[in-house]
Amino acid sequence: MSASLTPAGLVGNGYQVDTFGDSGHKAYNVGNKRGAGSYTLFTRGSSSAQATGEVIIHGIYGTPSNSRITRYIISGNLGLQQVFDSNLGSVPVPSLAWNGNDLEVVNSNGSLYYCVEVTLHGIGNDWNHVWGNFPGMS
């Protein structure tokens, strides 16, 4: 198996890592934001996606800043499960939820700085995703 890194032109502003030739790949994207808002991370383009992925939300809050990291797994059938959360101080975390075929992040705290990483694994029927409007991903 050889891995190659393909520039973002094929999958938005992220990167696509081809790990299994034509039978599978991994797409990655990251963006960051300060303040409140509601954003789409990506849209699932295939209702028959047999795929998996993860979303990691990093947050900093306060001066000097406290830190938080929250990790989720997602599935092609619109599954979502938090699998890790570690908080150094009192740092709010934006909410993450499916809204139809859109995976959305919502933050109501105007003082929170946060970064979102999305990794999509195409195993079987692909996500056929389109990156959303989250700053840095669109």
> In this predicted structure, what is the pLDDT of residue 91?
94
> In this predicted structure, what is the pLDDT of residue 8?
38
Name residues of the chain where pLDDT drops below 50. 1-12, 21
C-beta separation of 56 from 69 below 8 A? yes
What pTM, to 2 d.p., does this model score? Answer: 0.84
| Euclidean distance between CA atoms 53 and 72, whole angstroms | 8
Is the peptide bond preceding residue 64 cis, with omega within 30 degrees of 0?
yes
> In this predicted structure, what is the pLDDT of residue 18?
52
Q: Write out the CATH class of domain 29-131.
A: mainly beta
C-beta separation of 108 from 38 below 8 A? no
> In this predicted structure, what is the pLDDT of residue 4?
39
Please, what sign has the CA dihedral across residues 83, 104, 12, 32? negative
The mean pLDDT value of the chain amounts to: 85
